[in-house]
Amino acid sequence: LGLAEELEFEDGSVDLVTAGIAAHWFDMEKFMKEAERILKPKGCVALYCHKPPSVLGYDNCPEDPDQIIKDVSMQEERLAFI
């Protein structure tokens, strides 16, 4: 466990930072600086929560942000039937 604003990853070491129904607890300015620090070039931040949608983009994120959720949902459905 840790804080979203103090992630224990090396600089430029991850492709995707994601959090579900948690971002409302974050200090968003500190979190985004931390996410930018650990993301590889063209990395992606994907957050989902109860607030109205907004998109923070990086070059390699899908044009349709819902595609991330669709892809994850399909994987979960496949896992449920294995």
The residues, any chain, with a CB within 8 Å of residue 30's CB and separated by 6 or more, are 5
What's the confidence (pLDDT) of residue 52?
Answer: 54
Query: How many Cβ atoms are within 10 Å of 56's Cβ, its own excluded?
Result: 13
**What is the full DSSP assignment across 30-62?**
HHHHHHHHHEEEEEEEEEE-SSPP-----TTS-
Token duo for residue 24: 């409302």
What's the confidence (pLDDT) of residue 39?
Answer: 92
Q: How confident is the model at residue 81 (pLDDT cuts 50, 70, 90)?
A: very low
Q: How confident is the model at residue 65 (pLDDT cuts 50, 70, 90)?
A: low
Give pLDDT tens digits for 9-63.
999 999 889 888 888 889 989 999 999 999 998 888 888 776 555 555 545 666 6
- The dihedral built from the CA positions of residue 39, 43, 48 and 53, taken in this order, carries a sign that is positive
Sorted by where each begins, the domain ranges of the chain are 14-80
